[in-house]
Structure 1
Amino acid sequence: MFTTLGLFTGVACPQGEHCALLTCMFSHARYCTGLTKPSSGTTTSSDTIGTHNPKKLKTQESISSTEPLTLSHKVSNLEDVVNGSRSTSKPSQQLPRRTSDRRSSETPVTRPGASTSPSCPSSNLETDEPSSSPITRQPTSSELPPRKVRKESLNPRMLTKAPAPHATRSAILTKLHAVMVSNNEKLAKSKDSSKKSFVLTADELVTMALDEEEYVAKGNPGVYSNVIKLRIVKLTKMSSEDWAKEVMKHLNTRYYKIPVAPTPDATKPIETGLTTRQEITFVPRLITPLNGLEEFGYVTKPPTAAEIETSKQGVTDSKGWEKCERCASRFQVFPGRREDGALTTGGPCTYHPNRPVIPPRKKTDNYTGSGESYFPCCGESVGTSIGCTKGAQHVFKISESKRLASILQFETTPRQLDKGALDPVCFDCEMGYTTQGLELIRLTAVSWPEGRELLDVLVKPIGEVLDLNSRFSGVYPEHFAKAIPYGTSDIIPNSPSQSGQGNQQKPMQVVESPAAARELLFQFLQPETPLIGHAIDNDLNVCRIIHPTIIDTVILYPAPRGGLPNRMSLKTLARKFLSREVQTGGAKGHDSKEDAITTGDLVRAMVRDSWKKYKHHGWRFEGDHMVSPPNQETYYVNRQGLYVPSERPHDNDNPVEHRIESGSAGQKRKQPSPDDSTA
């Protein structure tokens, strides 16, 4: 008889103890022996709930006569099993049996009252395949628990959307398997006896190669060939020690499902070769001129009263009709609520949280294109799905400066006569959807380059909240419910905040309006203070701030395809230039403090790289002052980032021109002379 698929293992057999089948598709857990009465010291036939069919009982007794392997504590990773570490203070736990079926690797669910004694064939409940020889002894330091692997051929597994033709995948898989076989043979010949348990059998190597190829095919379909080839090269150069770690990771993931404690992410420090004051002196050379960037959303002057009045009249005439930012449908908004208490019309919003992605073109694609677009959030093709996520209400966003000013007028950074020059500031804002559009709900500012917290407050928006956008903002209703007014004395300044992660330990402070939050930020700024941010136009506009001295990392690191309006995300920039993973909270959202610090570190990385070019051409620091070379030249940084002198002669008495060609606007921009620096 063929092996059952295990589809009815959770259903009790209708025949019960009278079932005469040797291999029944239903469950017989209730009729296993081994459940004894509490008062009995030994197990007898009269103490059991039920008995097996004689044929089945005889078969099970012949193949399962010893107790399964148990560990005396819960191991944190597979290496604990190999080293044989034990602790008698924790209850025992049965190690799950190793199979090649993904279904069977999951922890089985046992109904209350079901037997778990050795005499019960419980292994049939954990795997779809017949039980093999049982585990009869504890693993020593040189071996792992026995495992049963399903025999598979070296043929790529079938996928719904294959990233490459079958012949290509088969050739790559063969090469990958050959490299794994070579590493396995080296490990087998190694003199280190503690790693002998990681020597895999032929079937296990085939399974590992299939898993590796399938993982890349599903996770990176657009760059499948490049990723898998780089993986093969890495395995080729791998030492026996590193290969043993790869095998251990594979065994943990594939078979044992033993949770591995996450290792803390050690952030690599940025070494610029300059002191803190020297970095502050140098950073004005990275300032982004705003002239000509108005078309990309940067506001350089406040809208006039006439423009504001025109905007208000337009909102009145539209009767509150807006376009949903998520699903693009039309709906009506009622600031202050309608008579029946409704804030919007249109009912729930069904949408895709991620924008569609176009697969990169491959050599095998025809001239018509590289394939149909799809949504990375759910994998559905564009046009075949209306959405995979539902929101309670529709939401909208306002982008026009005059309409933003009609809600709260823009204000230019004031000069504080009682304060001198102030150090640069990094800031980041989180926004939520209200009946007034996308509004400020959290503002965070940190010092640069130290990253010391200056300000971190929740902000009560002007309109009624439609959606806090917690998936990105990291702000949840409980944050506002537990928040205390700003300036409360029992809050310790600069205390570590867990906000943005959904489970903060201390309540945050809250201010009454975006205007109040803006005034708090102004305390750390002068008009010439460098204000650093990522896509800073969004943060400035939501705060209604016009600041003349900004450093925007989306312009400092222009997108590969022409710069603005194309932008690289903060997560991409951090991974590429800092080798750092940020915004990993998932559904818990982003942390504005983490984003502000990361943005500042990106600027420090640019200071490091730019200073190397200046230093190469003779610039130096005398104390905290930057000194130009004896023979001044006009330097030009081209689109490729090459720092070259221009051919135009100049007078040494005139300031040095530093012309930087912007990747976004494509124009040369004059920056202050190094000798005129006031930082």
Structure 2
Amino acid sequence: MAPITPMQQYLASLASLVEPAESLEKHGYITRPLSEEDLLGKQRCTGCGKTMSRLSRRRRPPLVEPTRLDPANNQLPAISQPHYPSTPAQMVAEDDEAPTATPQQEPRIHCRFHPGDLINRVWICCNQSPSAPLCSGAYQHSPRSQGLRELIELHQCYPTPWTPPRGNNICEAVALDCEMGTAASGDPELIRVTLVNYFSKTVILDNIVKPDVPMQHLNTRYSGVTWADMKNARKQGTSLKGKAGAREKIWKHVGPHTLVVGHGVNNDLRSLRWIHTLVVDSYVTEFGRVKLKEAEELKLKKAEEQKLKEAEAKTGNLTTLDASKNSEDLKIPDSGTLTTPNDPAATTNEPPRVRKPGNLLLKTLAKKYLDRDIQTQGKKGHDSLEDAIAARDLVHRNVVDLVGRM
């Protein structure tokens, strides 16, 4: 798609697609710096590796050290008089209670994991395949020992700085896309960042990002980034130094009033540890369109049902004779609800299924609205430049639609 002229009417329509902060938060955006409580929730369990914020509510229950499960039944061995040495700041999974034991019932295992590494597709802790049952467990989740300073360095997010524009470097709108690998901790880690001028379509940044934490893998199947790419970028001096280095480069072109366009931009901003709320997200826009369409369809369906009921009431469709004739086809349960034998709700008591929103993947929307095939490289992964431009063109289509209706 050709460059776009930033006319006043177009800019107003583009700005009208910016989501309010409340909507962004519902879609997982971080709109303010993380509190101490938020940062502590980023700690991961020493056993299963899941984050405490995902696993738990904050309590201070006792803990038992990880214990090898019985391979025969995948359970902890029997303990006649369990002892749980206490440790500070423990967190327990939602609805889990402190472990208790009776002669008839052993305490429940809350945390299951393989304590060894997966090497050559074998867990070295139990010498079994990757799909083998988890061989160890503990009665409670235990957060890794990380100080607040370390958590801030790893996870704190920073808003776009209010620095005055230098020359003409600050853009009115940009398209953003990032690629992420997986850190040794299990957290997503930024490994490539792409920034495109929304109006001129000029590529501002398209750089490999050297991770500032140890990596588990680069997720090449989706990120498209290989270790050879990392090595070549470092040799050529084109790689950016971690998330802070990427933010610094971006902020030379993005100010507090710059519109950031993308698809699922919350993931990109999170990977950059960046807070920016002037966002036009093609995923959120399409999600809202789908939900609005579903609401309209439901409203029409209810209106039709109401008209049908009114028509039946006027014509006296169900007479006394008809009711007697059809009495064998009707079942009146104890609750007094009238149902038919073929009605699934008569036996399951489940609410009717609600149709889920359609496929909102960038690849699907690009094909549907732009007639463009993207992400076609299979296991070679995505191209963040291709994805950024596709998201930009989807948003442009929405703006043109808005301008046409004015």
Using the size of structure 2 for normalisation, the TM-score is 0.56
Q: Which has the larger radius of gyration?
A: 1
1:294 equivalent to 2:25? Answer: yes
What is the alpha-carbon distance in structure 2 between the residues aligned to residue 548 and residue 540 of structure 1? 10
Match of 1:422 in 2: 171
Q: Distance in 1 between matches of 2:124 and 2:188?
A: 15
Q: Secondary structure at the match of 2:239?
A: strand
The one-character-per-residue Cα deviations of 1:105-129 (angstroms, maximum 9, x if unpaired) are xxxxxxxxxxxxxxxxxxxxxxxxx
Instruction: Work out whether 1:456 is the aligned partner of 2:206.
Output: yes
Specify the code of the residue in structure 2 equivalent to 1:529.
T
Partner residue of 1:543? Answer: 272
Residues 1:588 and 2:380 aligned together: yes
Alignment pair present for 1:573 and 2:349? no
2:14 pairs, out of 259, 283, 298, with 283
- 1:396 aligns with none
Label 1:613 to 1:441 Cα distance change in 2 as closer, same or farther (>3 A): same
Answer yes or no: is 1:522 the counterpart of 2:269: no
Q: Distance in 2 between matches of 1:462 and 1:344?
A: 28
How many residues align structurally? 261
Q: Tell me how far 1:294 sits from its aligned partner.
A: 2.0
Query: What CA distance in whole angstroms lies between the structure 1 residues aligned with 2:116 and 2:359?
Result: 31
Match of 2:189 among 439, 442, 446: 439
Q: Per-residue deviation at 1:270? A: 7.0
Provide the rounded CA distance (Å) in 2 between the counterparts of 1:345 and 1:330: 10
Offset at 1:611? 0.4
**Residue in 1 that maps onto 2:219:** 469
- In 2, the alpha carbon distance for the partners of 1:411 and 1:350 equals 38
Kindly tell me: are residues 407 and 425 of structure 1, through their superposed partners in 2, closer, same or farther at Cα, counting changes over 3 Å?
Answer: same
Following superposition, the deviation at residue 556 of structure 1 comes to 1.5
Alignment of 1:126-525 (within 5 A): 269=1, 275-278=5-8, 279-308=10-39, 310-311=40-41, 314-315=43-44, 318-319=45-46, 321-323=48-50, 330-331=113-114, 407-419=154-166, 422-436=171-185, 437-484=187-234, 488=237, 509-525=238-254
Q: Which amino acid counterpart does residue 156 of structure 2 have in structure 1? A: Q
> 1:562 is paired with a residue of what secondary structure?
helix
Q: Which has the higher helix share?
A: 2
Cα distance in 1 for residues equivalent to 2:151 and 2:26:
16
Report the Cα offset of residue 276 of structure 1.
3.7
Distance 1:524 1:345 in 2: 50
Query: Using the alignment, how far apart are the partners of 2:116 and 2:163 within structure 1?
Result: 40
Distance in 2 of aligned mates of 1:545 and 1:592: 18
Residues 418 and 574 of structure 1: CA distance in aligned 2, closer, same or farther (over 3 Å)? closer
Amino acid in the other structure paired with 1:289: P
Question: What's the secondary structure of 1:322's corresponding residue?
Answer: coil
2:41 match: secondary structure: helix
Q: TM-score, normalised by structure 1?
A: 0.35
Query: How far 1:416 moved relative to its partner?
Result: 2.1
Q: Note the C-alpha offset of 1:295.
A: 3.7
**How far 1:568 sits from its partner (Å)?**
0.3
SS of 2:34's partner is: coil
What secondary structure does 2:190 align onto? strand
Deviation at 1:589, TM superposition (A): 0.8
Q: What amino acid is the match of 1:604?
A: H
| Residue identity opposite 2:21 in structure 1 | L
- The answer to whether the 8 Å contact 1:444/1:457 transfers is yes
Q: Structure 2: how far apart are the matches of 1:537 and 1:514? A: 15
Q: Indicate the residue corresponding to 1:83 in structure 2.
A: none
* Compared CA separation, residues 414 and 605, structure 1 to 2 (3 A): same
Selected match of 2:261 from 518, 529, 532: 532
Identical positions, percent: 32
- Deviations, residues 74-97 of structure 1 (Å, cap 9, x unaligned): xxxxxxxxxxxxxxxxxxxxxxxx
Q: Tell me the SS of whatever aligns to 1:445.
A: strand
SS in structure 1 opposite 2:291? coil
1:515 Cα shift? 1.1
| 1:469–1:288 distance in 2 versus 1, CA, 3 Å | same
**CA–CA distance in structure 1, aligned partners of residues 177 and 258 of structure 2:** 16
| 1:423 shift after superposition | 1.9
Q: Give, in angstroms, the shift of residue 569 of structure 1.
A: 0.3
For residues 608 and 557 of structure 1, what CA distance do their matches in structure 2 show? 15
Partner of 1:597: 389
Q: Which one scores higher on RCO, CA 8 angstroms, separation ≥ 6?
A: 2
- d(CA) in 2 for partners of 1:531 and 1:580? 22
Structure 2 unaligned blocks of 5 or more: 52-110, 118-122, 134-148, 293-355
